[in-house]
Copies of this chain bind each other. A is one copy, B any other.
Amino acid sequence: MSSDSPNNNIKNSFASDNISSACPEVMDAIIEANSGIAKSYGEDDYSKRLQEKLSEVFETEVIAYPVVSGTAANALALATLAPSYGKVFCHEMSHINTDECGAPEFFTGGAKLVPISSDNGKITADALADKIRGAGNVHSAQPATVSITQSCEVGALYQLNEISAIAKTAHENGLSVHMDGARFANGLVALDVSPAEMTWKSGVDVLSFGGTKNGCIAAEAVVFFKPELVQSFPFLHKRSGQLLSKMRFISAQLDAYLTDDVWLRNARHANEMAARLSQGLAEIKGIELAFPTESNEIFAHIPRDVIEALNAAGFSVTEGELDETAPPRFVTAWNTEATEVDALLDAVKTAVNATSNQT
């Protein structure tokens, strides 16, 4: 990410992948979509083509609805999967539970998010089974769906067998399975599996498919792998203000994103830069990775004085992404440059040396 732009009001280009720009293929698609008129509200050719493209990519007939934010994608998906008196099982640190200001509760009409704790950011089939209670009992909010994040909030990945096990437990108990795929592509290329394998073949019913963090401007899609789950989605979609009149501009982004492996290439690059940064950090004395780096997020324990030194040097290190006491997070993007990674590593080393000399 170039840092000499008029937008450069932040110094640390590792704050999040949502500070990055859009990739050229996506920008070109927006410009092309702007030629001429097109039917509104998703009746346009781009939106139709997106359905086909997603069906190809996922090797099955899907029904997909573009939206403009991950929060909307998740909340709308859950609103279709859980009744107002339902329970949504999720990790305690999941984005839907901690970073969406209660959007799932709002869109579902008051469903209850049931947090599941673990040290590695992932839930297990056993932990889920243990929490599923009260089905049919009118006193209890009703178990409805489980939501997992791939790649998850600490950057770790669910292996296919872990997803399958969770889905098996869910389905056996009458629950549906939602995947928050805000960083779907990063997880996918890291696991080196197919989109089908990481979703419906492993039991995922509905996917929040993310594009924004990996090269789009604002483009996500709610992807249904089972038509019978769509139900009232079109009405909820409109009713939430997410059915854009000029939807072609969202669909065109995703279309370009999915064409010629743009999305996979972008994700692979981000993951490679993350690995470079992760390895570099791990080698610095006094720095310890908080979680294994499996996709494009790195969490590392860094001494407080080193953080302060980095901030003083212009790197605004983000703490408390998970909670106030959490280790700082670094995120790489589709266009992070190796020189940027190395510059950060140099800065950390300098800061570590400076602070260890002081003591």
Contact = CB atoms under 8 A, between A and B. Distances in A.
A109 B138 contact: no
B138 A234 contact: yes
Given A112-B105, A113-B112, A85 B239 contact: yes
B235 A138 contact: yes
Interface stretch (A28-36, A145-153, A299-307, A348-356): A28-36
A83 to B, nearest CB: 6
A189 B113 CA distance: 36
Contacts of A38: 5, 7-10, 19
B34 A248 contact: no
Contact of A237 (B98, B138, B243): B138
Interface in A227-243: 232, 234-243
Contact of A240 (B18, B70, B212, B241): B241
B241 A103 contact: yes
A99 interface: yes
Most chain B CB inside 10 Å of its own CB: which residue of A98, A141, A213 = A141
Q: Number of copies of this chain in the oligomer? A: 4
A60 interface: no
A141 B3 contact: no
A20 B101 CA distance: 35
Nearest to A31: B27
Interface of A: 1-10, 13, 15-16, 18-22, 27, 30-41, 43-46, 67-73, 75-76, 83-86, 97-103, 105-106, 108-113, 115, 133-134, 138-142, 212-213, 217-218, 232, 234-246, 248-250, 323-324
Counting from the closest, the 3 A-B pairs by CB-CB distance are: A5-B36, A72-B241, A105-B110
25 contacts: A1-B37, A3-B37, A5-B36, A7-B35, A7-B37, A9-B44, A10-B38, A18-B245, A21-B34, A21-B36, A68-B218, A68-B241, A85-B101, A85-B106, A86-B102, A101-B142, A101-B239, A103-B240, A105-B105, A106-B110, A109-B109, A138-B235, A138-B237, A240-B241, A241-B242
